[in-house]
Structure 1
């Protein structure tokens, strides 16, 4: 799928490695993952933290400071990170292993697949810089991580939207018996879902707002963008519903099928991932298998391509996942 041309307008520049996707003036919470894991560690003494030289950049340094005897720095060796996490899980610990998403999936895939998942070990892999959340180019842009991890049998996959999602997801994935891959937003993370009476439930999609013309099914920070789109399109008398799907696998098929079949409206899947192998294809497969035909169906994800390096606002415009370009795309699909 070809992404739309970028909208010509001045944009603020950012550093290429920026991990926060908060806009200027937006409410944020600092290090929600690290703080949630520290809080959990107070009562769960089986929780251990491991990282591959990236504690500061995954917010795991907070856990290391609080519980130095339960923190393990594995160095730049992601295969070793996953192998050690699997070994600790066999001894009854619940390891939280952190790194960048490209390294935790592409570089360590065989160890995740064979050491952790095949034995259904209780390892929680939490990876920063998912999708297009860095401008460092294809070496650091994990635009295919969901496709890779969805292919692993028994792997639970979580793509949280904001700080609240992360805070509530941490204890639930710790409680879940089996391997989990969670995309991680770190640093100053936007806070948006508290305005929608939202609570994270592992395996459940949640309808955040209702609308009769368009249904956006989204995950990750694209849910934040989708809510912005809904507000913007309301000014043009376009009614948009937003369903947040934080658990990519297992997918909440029942809620999705009910939402799609309830009204004849355009269905848009918005995700910070390639259109190959992510939420969009998971939803499309669900609709096809259950013979549910929406009034229209479009994928608003990243193109099947190696993406450019640069500032995030520019790249999000270029590849169609900024709120402004998503508004333009939906208007075009409705015409």
Structure 2
């Protein structure tokens, strides 16, 4: 029985979204919904289209094939309204349909499982809505999500926590457009080629470029500036790319270490989601001491940003000097059954469906802990 005395927990799966990782999110959500144990859970799909409209019903069909068997819905930022509310499309006002909330909820919800990658989903925005609605949800809270998403702030927190990151600079897109030659000179005075340019707030390696010359750096800065108002410029080194899955709230644990060996220049969007020629090695070919150090760094980084539930920590091993560097944390990593996060736990001894059970339990545990805290001075 659930904490509310029902036979099943009602789990809302939120997916899609307004980011460039919309399609990746659909794949992750379908995998999660197929693997959830229907003897334990009632699954309520909640899709968000590329314009930000929330839908329920046959959302996958709507978002992938344009089928009309779904309807507008919303969550209200009201702790007393813990249901998914259906929106009624009334007569249009100009070109915009008038929307009103139908009194009866489509479904009450016990816990939310966000499978939203990138901006407007992995960056604390949806987490803020769920906090206002007082709903338990899988994954990091507002702060952990926002810091994990912002590559610049993440690096600053790592440095403040005594954790290693590669040399880097932050460039404002506005400054780049106004003073390009000065920005180039500042970068070249501190860092050496090759360099990586990255939008500060974007996932799945979107907008990232490897730059081996001034001309490529200019193009890379232009590319990153087209996605974000802030750009991270990072020192390139000869590295091996390592990934660790972390699971837990107050006492997180780390999986075995995996390694990605891309056939392309680096593990970019095409390597992750289009090409199938990258080699995923589980476990990574490391000494026991190296693996222990990677897992230790991963857990420390996870705690440093106040992550919760889950996170995939990406690290770099400099093959020239043997040093490890924190690269980033993905607080809502890819979640298909062939994605690295669940694959690493599978290799550690935690199967996919049991991993989902654990994540839902962690969400409820964290919510109950927050509910037990004082909310007034009385």
Q: Same fold (TM over 0.5)?
A: no
TM-score by length of 1: 0.27
Q: Looking at CA atoms only, which structure, 1 or 2, has the larger radius of gyration?
A: 2
TM-score by length of 2: 0.25
